[in-house]
Every structure is written in C-alpha cells, then in structure tokens.
Amino acid sequence: MAVHYIKLMVNCPFSILYHVLAQAFGHCYRRCLKLENGNSYGVILGGKYFLGTGTDPVITIALEEENNNTFVEIFSYWVQKSYARDVLKILDKLGFTYRVLDDINYFTCEQASNILDESLSKVEGRRIQVLPKNIKNLIPCPFLDFDFSLYYLDVYICRAAKLMGYPSYKMFEKEVIERCIQYKYLDCNFFLEGSRREKELERNE
C-alpha cells in the first residue's frame, strides 16, 4: 500500500494538540495513553472521500509528548499528500509553530528512525521469533523468520542473510523443511556466519 509520511515537532503542549487533531481527524478512532516514562501518547485515525480521484484514503496520526512540545507522525494512505498536509494547514491556521523532520512519499517502515519499540533493546528485537506452530515444533533455525506480509503464501525469511549484508533471502515452506529445521541448519553457511555477526553486534552494543 502506498503511503505518504510526514514527521514533525510541534511547539505545542500534547493535551492541546491532541484535542485539536482528534476533533479534526478522529472520525474513525482516537485514543490517548500514558507511556512507561509518564509521557502521553495518542493515536488518531480518520478518513475522507476525494471526489476527484474516487478514492477513500485513510490518515493515521501518532502523537507523543516531548517536554512542552509534541512529536507527530502522519501516515496518509494511497499517497494522498493533500490529506497529510491538511494537518499542517490546521497548525498554520492556529498559529502553531513546527519543524518538519521528514516528508517522504511512498514511505516504507524501513525508512522510519524508530522501527523497534523503544522499550526493546536491539538485541531483544533481533531475538524475537514468531513462527507457525507446525514449523515452531520442528526445532527451527534461530535466524528463521516468518514473512507476515505474505502469510497466505507461507513465505519465510533468513535473518542471517540480512546480518551478512545480502538482500532479503526468502523461502517457501518446502525449502524451510529441507534446510532449516531439526538441526539441519548447523552446517549452513548463513547460520554459521550469521551467528558470528550477531555476537559481534552484541559486543558492540
């Protein structure tokens, strides 16, 4: 799905900005939470119909309290830049000052600066492994990941290949059963080199 992404820091207290944007865009959903550090965090979901294109794009706005300012991320789906920029128009109209940190068309999660949840260390993030039950019960390679974006095709990813600097190495379940379960992976070059690279990363963190 094509996404337009804008990240900005707004010189406005969280409570005021959340109230304004929730009223303006929170037609579908809105919620405010407290993080472990005591800061407020809000999520706003809205949508509107564009007559010119016949599309019904959705916008997601995430807000996080940052002292007396508010960190904001805007995700406008179907690459409707104008919808994402509606947020900026409201800020301008109300006289809020802000600084745009990122403005990315055709955004992907790999371009985000905070892909992992801040409560997880990078090492913990790498060790998370969630696999279908039939594979999980067969003692899989610790570098084997399931591609949840292609869950209906039973596609798997070799995380060791990524640690080695290769493009994403993907496999179907048949190849996984042939190579990546019941300790068959112990002689695999990806497993051996990936283990070495991961130890190096852990020592440097």
Write 189-193 long-range contacts (CB < 8 A, 24+).
190/143, 190/158, 190/160, 190/161, 190/164, 191/141, 191/143, 191/160, 193/160, 193/163, 193/164
Residue 81 has pLDDT above 70, yes or no: no
Domain boundaries, the chain: 3-111, 122-203
Q: Tell me the pLDDT band of 37, cut-offs 50, 70 and 90.
A: confident
DSSP 15: H
- Kindly state the average pLDDT of the residues 21-49: 89
Report the b/e string of 96-114 with b at 16+ CB within 10 A: bebeeeebeeebeeeeeee
Q: What are the tokens at 99?
A: 């600084």
Report the alpha-carbon distance of residue 62 to residue 21 in Å, rounded: 10
What is the model's pTM? Answer: 0.62
The one-letter amino acid code at 191 reads F
* Token pair 């109230």: residue: 19
pLDDT digits (tens, 9 = 90+) for 130-164: 888 899 999 999 999 998 877 778 899 999 998 88
Residue 52 has pLDDT above 60, yes or no: no
Contact by Cβ (8 Å): 128, 178: no
Residue 203 has pLDDT above 60, yes or no: yes
The one-letter amino acid code at 153 reads L
The CATH number fitting domain 3-111, selected from 2.60.40, 3.30.160, 3.40.50, 1.20.1440: 3.30.160
Residue 112 has pLDDT above 80, yes or no: no
Phi and psi based region of residue 79 (left: phi greater than 0; alpha: psi -120 to 50; beta: remaining): left
Report the alpha-carbon distance of residue 71 to residue 81 in Å, rounded: 19
The one-letter amino acid code at 72 reads V
- Please tell me the predicted confidence (pLDDT) of residue 115: 43
